[in-house]
Every structure is written in structure tokens, then in C-alpha cells.
Structure 1
């Protein structure tokens, strides 16, 4: 006979334990593909039939300091974000905004065409479009 007795709904209890663990450890990534909240710049990556779309949220970054490169199936976004200057004689009490150099590396899908990359920076957002190879695009087949 087991010393363990469970008198309630097992799934309800597991859900309660998961909520307690989330509270205890904070908002950790929910999967291996989730990103930490302190990574800069944060990215959204999506795909259409024609291209891979990457959006990097980089407010306060001088567009001249940004560099986008593609090499061996990876796209790299690098740059520098300068800090705000405090008045003379002031000491930093708290600092929550990231400043300094950054670099993000994104593995592109195999059907990405690295010869078709476009990037634009507007209102603190870097948008990158990587075209897909023609052979990988879906096409309709006519039935005879």
C-alpha cells in the first residue's frame, strides 16, 4: 500500500503547481525558442510565401551605428546604443535602459536567398526582409 494519497483532481493540482512555479521563478521563457526579456534588441521573426521578415526593436540607436551582415546562412545585426547623459555632478541611482554594443545572430532558413536582403530603419524599428528562392515558393499545379 502506498503512503501517498491524493484526494483531488490531478490535473487541477498540476495546474496549481505550475502557477506557483511561475510565480516563484518569474516569467521565464515558455520554450527553448522564447527569448529573455533582457536581450537587446528584441526581435520578431516571421515568414510569408515570398520572404522572411525580421523586425528588431532598437529605439535610441543611431541608424549609422547599425550593421546588418549575411554569412553562411546566418544574419547578424550589430550596433551600439549610446546612453543618455546626466547633468554635471549627478550620479546614477538606477539604470534600466541598455547602453553599449550589441550583436544578434539569426539562423536563416535553407530557402532564404541571401542575395535578396533589404533593411530599413524607421522610428526605432529595424525591418529586414530576406527573399526566398524561387524554387522554394509554393505554386499551384494544374490538374489535367
Structure 2
């Protein structure tokens, strides 16, 4: 009879080891592989009147979010809890690719950002932060006489 030198779950053990190593370096797996910049994924853009930041954070409780603007640095921090941990103490997760835990992202804003005109809204898992530009930085037409 054929007898294996390795236990049947060698691949499960290798998968567990990989997850532990990723957690040790605080990297979260995504559909594209390891995250380049972390959680939440963000898009930053702008108009002549404002700077628009979108943070994609599904499953985050709005009460755990902190948005701060200090000296031109916008920071987004919060926590996403795992539904598996609260479901049952005896439950076992076979695959857990969704990030949970505390997170923090920081974005440097341009010099014309107005720290007194910031609006943040969370809707359908998307945090939209709009920072108005200072009126003195707005483009305007100057009449020639």
C-alpha cells in the first residue's frame, strides 16, 4: 500500500502559515494580491472648488470612524470588526480574506485647502470627504482696462 510522507493537510498548514505571516506584517489580502497601500482603498481627486476624497470602507461602523485635519494632513482612522468573532466562540473560519481590525490612512492636502470647510459623509460603505479650496486660490477672470 502507498503511504504518504506528509500529513493530508499540509496545504492547509501552509495556508495558515502564510496568513500568520501576513498578519505579522499587517498586510491584508485583496482580490489583486497583497494590498499596496492598506485599508481602506482611497481615491483622491479635485475640482477647481474642492478636493474630493473617497474611502471605500464597507462594514465600518460610522461611530468608529475618526477624520482629522491638522496642518494639511488629513487622517482617516477607525475599526472594522469581524462578524465571525461575535457569531460563536466555537465557530471555525475556514477562509477569512476580509480585513478586520484597526486602520489608519493619511493624505497630504495641497496648500490651498481650507481647513474650516470640510464635510464628511458615510453612505453605503463609501466615506466621502470634501475639502473646499480657499477663495483666494479660486481661478478668476481679471478684466483688462
Tell me the matched-pair count: 111
Secondary structure at 1:64's aligned position in 2? helix
Distance 1:89 1:76 in 2: 37
TM-score, scaled relative to structure 1: 0.72
Matched, 1:42 2:45: no
Q: Which residue of 1 aligns with 2:112?
A: 111
Q: Where do residues 20-35 of structure 1 align in structure 2 (5 Å cutoff)?
A: none
TM-score, scaled relative to structure 2: 0.71
Q: Where do residues 49-128 of structure 1 align in structure 2 (5 Å cutoff)?
A: 49-85=48-84, 86-87=87-88, 89-128=90-129
Moved segments of 4+, more than 4 Å: none
Distance 1:44 1:88 in 2: 37
Gaps of at least 5 residues in structure 1 are: 1-26, 29-34
* CA RMSD across the alignment: 1.8
Gaps of at least 5 residues in structure 2 are: 1-31
Secondary structure at 2:63's aligned position in 1? helix
Secondary structure at 1:104's aligned position in 2? strand
